[in-house]
Amino acid sequence: MEAIVYSTKGKEARKVDLNEKIWGLTWNADLVHQVVTSMRANARTGTAAAKTRSEVSGGGKKPWAQKGTGRARHGSSRSPIWRHGGVTHGPLGEKDYSKKINKKVRAKALYTVLSEKLRKGEIMFVDDIAMKDYKTREAKAILSNLSEVKGFEKLLTKKRNAAYFAMAEKSEVAAKSFGNFGNIDFDDVKNMNPIDLLNHKYLVIVSPEASVGFIEGKIAVK
């Protein structure tokens, strides 16, 4: 299968070949859900913690005499039944939320999301974005040109998570030039994952031959 490659002027430049076994997969909601929930769980840190009675301050002295006061017996103000006392069976900051994700399963989920976005016409292949200077004006002109392509009209107007630009090679100039747009995320194609793709309306793959080669090389396709 083939896809059109556009120039930064928004014009058709050429076509790129895509492996149908990767870019033509049927939607698998269960697989994608499994990988996405696992990735989000892996991003969690078990930092919630409460102090036990041995960790709270105070309580070194017996509050009052054992007998004769008419009040209940207490040995320490650090007791869990006291205000500002320790917490019984509270979180200790040691909980591990991580889940194992098989490498091939993760890659298959990425391919599934890519196939679905390609099927919906939400992936654009763009020739190399070569920027010599940090120019937001030039970046805006590129976005304006690309938004003229049919189906990508919201590329410039969507307020949040409009597009994820995947670069074959890291470009600090391009990343910073596009960094002033709050609805655009710019990253290397090697960092692309299902969550990033699902969180954005469009995916713009820059330098498609190199980028596609890297994507298709994640797992062996039989």
CATH class of 2-39+99-216: alpha beta
**Torsion sign (Cα): 11, 178, 117, 120:** negative
Strands (E), the chain: 2-6, 12-17, 123-126, 163-167, 184-188, 202-206
10 dihedral zone (left: phi>0; alpha: psi -120 to 50; beta)? left
Question: Helix, strand, or coil here: 194?
Answer: helix
Question: What's the CA gap between 144 and 142, in Å, rounded?
Answer: 5
Long-range pairs of 27-32 with CB within 8 A, sequence gap ≥ 24 = 27/112, 27/115, 27/116, 28/108, 28/109, 28/112, 31/105, 31/108, 31/109, 31/112, 32/109, 32/112, 32/113, 32/194, 32/198
Tell me what pLDDT residue 46 has.
87
- 69-127, pLDDT tens digit by residue? 999 999 999 999 999 999 999 999 888 999 999 999 999 999 999 999 999 999 999 99
Domain boundaries, the chain: 2-39+99-216, 45-96
Tell me what pLDDT residue 76 has.
94
Low-confidence ranges of the chain (pLDDT < 50): 222
Tell me what pLDDT residue 174 has.
87
Nearest Cα neighbor of 165 from 176, 150, 175 is 175
Q: What are phi and psi of 2, to 5 degrees?
A: -125, 155
Report pTM: 0.82
